[in-house]
Chain A
């Protein structure tokens, strides 16, 4: 009997990686999935923070994909190692702060390492030539294969027919004729293949699984780096960029003001590491303060917090500011008028 070959599939939770893995299973390959958590992945928890999103069914799409495929899934925490990819991307960023090409290289390299440790023969991804403006172009396909070290052990089943022969094809482990020649940004061939395999209810095909491709998130990240004078970040920082209104009235402080109850609850967990403010005379949002405010700044922060609460039209609102050492200051302020909150303050 011929040996069953083993492939590790990069599973993002999107349609393309689901299809690529399925194509391999159809050819009798033993497939296991690998999924990388960078800290910027748009997954369950972030959907759960805001109340309005709670109605949506909450699931981890990578786990969902693996379950549909009937394969194992290994989720790998790369939060720490990923910092270097994001801070110093050799190939630069995409439209926002997404270092997609370096990210792909890194993930394939990690998958290769995993494959070697676990005795797997090759790696597959759902990449399609021309699908993404930055990372999935004809010129970048060999970059990912070379720089990751995977070389011809990297197979892209959805567009393999447009690419040079790889090891699994050459050795006859997989039949090149039963692979695909998808290219370009269109989604029709993928959707047709999904229908053929009976996949429904898959995650929205058009990216959207990474906060770094989001314009407003990227702006907040850049603002964070600029205000600190370096590009370091911790998990708490990147989590907080996902919630609330971010308002920076000057270089000394930024306020994060919750927009609704879900965010309020989420931000409650950060009261031990940030000064926090809320109106005590009227209902209103919780705000976290990042930075080193002067007395005047704190007054201004209180006025901003008052503006977003139920006391916004009152003459005076009492706002409490609690430092992380437990010191409490009571500030009686007039809420700012909406036009006094400058557009340029909004991050």
Chain B
């Protein structure tokens, strides 16, 4: 399943916290598309994923918005 999360106008680490809390309710293999405006997420969400057993499938940037797609792992 694919889900979306709006983390625009939040500053790190808030987008990471929102991602973490949302991922907790998803199951392995689900995709979560997180839309952000703080460029810090390009480092922080991948770091959080590496640590906690999830995967960043893509990071796309356009018009000041960054969309990070996370694939939920075993956790």
Contacts and interface: CB of A to CB of B under 8 A. Distances in A.
Interface of A: 37, 41, 43-46, 48, 58-60, 62-64, 66-67, 71-77, 239, 269
A44 B44 contact: yes
A75 B50 contact: no
A73 B14 contact: no
Most buried by A among B39, B50, B51, B53: B51
- Interface majority SS (helix, strand, loop, mixed), chain A: mixed
Contacts of A45: 11-12, 38, 40
B47 interface: yes
Interface of B: 9, 11-14, 16-17, 20, 38-40, 43-44, 47-48, 50-53
A46 B40 CA distance: 10
B51 A75 contact: no
A74 B44 contact: no
18 contacts: A37-B14, A44-B43, A46-B11, A48-B40, A59-B47, A60-B16, A60-B43, A63-B13, A63-B16, A63-B44, A63-B47, A66-B51, A72-B51, A72-B52, A72-B53, A75-B16, A75-B20, A76-B17
- Interface majority SS (helix, strand, loop, mixed), chain B: helix
Contacts of A63: 13, 16, 44, 47-48, 51
A49 to B, nearest CB: 9
A72 B38 CA distance: 23
B39 A48 contact: yes
Given A44-B12, A63-B48, 19 more contacts: A43-B12, A43-B13, A44-B43, A45-B38, A46-B11, A48-B39, A48-B40, A58-B40, A59-B47, A60-B12, A60-B16, A60-B44, A60-B47, A66-B51, A67-B47, A72-B52, A75-B16, A239-B11, A269-B9
Nearest to A266: B11
B68 to A, nearest CB: 14
6 tightest Cβ-Cβ pairs between the two chains A and B: A45-B11, A44-B40, A63-B47, A44-B12, A45-B12, A77-B17
A67 B44 CA distance: 11
Nearest to B20: A75
A64 B51 CA distance: 9
Nearest to A35: B13
A74 B20 contact: yes
Contacts of B17: 37, 75-77
Contact of A77 (B9, B14, B38): B14
A58 B11 contact: no
Nearest to B48: A63
Nearest to B47: A63
B46 to A, nearest CB: 9
A71 B43 contact: no
B43 A59 contact: yes
A66 B52 CA distance: 10
A44 B48 contact: no
Contacts of B13: 37, 41, 43-44, 60, 62-63, 75
